[in-house]
Amino acid sequence: MSTDSLAEPLNHVSTRRLGSLRLRLTLAVPLLTAAIVAVFEWSLGNYESPAEGLARTAWLVLLLSAAQLILIEALLLRPLRRLAAGCEAMESAPVPLTPEAAVPTPGLAAELDRIGHAMLRARGSLWQQDQAARELRRELAQQRHLLQEAHSALEANQRELASLARIDALTGIANQRAFDEALRREFKRAQRLRGLLALAVLDLDQFKQFNLTHGTAVGDMALQRVASLLNERFKRDTDVVARLGGEEFVALLPGFGMAEAQGVLESLRDELRALRLPDGQGSLTLSVGLAAASPAHPYLSAQALLQAADEALYIAKHAGRDRLSLAA
């Protein structure tokens, strides 16, 4: 059977299919348009009578259907017809009998080459984009890791700064801010549990003169020795020793009454007298004001307890120094 005899049925099939498609579109488009226009027009309710509405709807359906069919013919059916004609032409072409006859025409070969080159360029572009995306993901992962490290370092610095904000830089013990927080906390706990709380304010006697005699460097080392002595003497987990500033220190002793705290502080004064100073010369003495809160002797506030200890220290200073005075 020849190729021409095969192409003829194919031509008829393609023509019948296009004709069938055109017929279905010609029937379906007006029906669908009529339904849409009817629903839209009747929803607006612009007509006084059904006859007027039907006439107006019919005209709209006719115009819209004609416009749609023209567009479908121009945009869909004509390209399909050309495509079918091209396929029919390719199908009706004679079958090559020799390898030389199988070589495509120069125009088709050039078109195939262009398509092949375009596909290669597209594949190369996709590969480059994939590599760029992978590189970007690696950079993002590195940046995320660096950001996490910076965040961890920042948190560590913040913790260190918070710790430094509560520690006296010279002596390494708590500063006044940390002491104020501990005093409020322990005072509330003693009130809630009806417990004991002793507070001692300690001041080195004539320390300004000591600095003038021995120098500020020796004076700083003496303050460090005193702070170390306080840490050694008051080393319970609940004890708090702090430097309020200059040569003034404070000791907060939860669970101690007046008698227990007085005994410990007298021993501390004796140890301070025996303390070996940095240059081996001179000596230091300590004046102490002591107040203690208890259920039998309560204070209205933590500030009132601190004020009572300050007043006792004032009495010890004016009574000749180097002594311990008890709050009334």
Q: Residue 240 belongs to a domain with what CATH number? A: 3.30.70.270
> How high is the pLDDT of residue 101?
46
What are the distances in angstroms from CA 278 to CA 151, 213, 225, 275, 300?
A: 43, 13, 9, 9, 43
> How high is the pLDDT of residue 254?
96
153 shares its domain with 180: no
Residue 308's closest CA among 198, 206, 175, 195?
198
74 token code pair: 């121009």
93 Cβ contact list (under 8 Å, min separation 6): 3
Query: What span, in angstroms and rounded, lies between the C-alpha atoms of 232 and 229?
Result: 5
134 shares its domain with 234: no
Instruction: Give the domain range for residue 42.
Output: 3-96
Q: Which of 143, 164, 185 is the last residue of a domain?
A: 164
265 shares its domain with 220: yes
Q: Where are the alpha helices (DSSP H) in the chain?
A: 3-44, 50-72, 78-92, 106-164, 176-193, 207-214, 216-233, 258-273, 302-318
159 shares its domain with 238: no
> How high is the pLDDT of residue 287?
95
151 burial level (CB within 10 Å; 0-12, 13-18, 19+): exposed
267 shares its domain with 135: no
81 shares its domain with 111: no
Query: What span, in angstroms and rounded, lies between the C-alpha atoms of 72 and 275?
Result: 108
Q: For the chain of 328 residues, list the mean pLDDT of each consecutive stretch of 10.
A: 46 64 76 76 62 71 79 75 69 53 64 81 85 89 87 75 79 94 96 96 93 89 92 93 95 95 93 74 85 94 96 95 92
The answer to whether 167 touches 174, Cβ cutoff 8 Å, is yes
One-letter identity of residue 78: R
- Domain count for the chain, please give it: 3
CA 127 to chain centre: 35
Token pair 């006439």 is found at: 55
Please report whether residue 250 resides in a domain: yes
Residues marked active site are found at 247
> How high is the pLDDT of residue 3?
45
One-letter identity of residue 170: L
What are residue 241's DSSP bridge partners? 251
74 Cβ contact list (under 8 Å, min separation 6): none
Please report whether residue 171 resides in a domain: no
> How high is the pLDDT of residue 91?
59
Length of the chain: 328
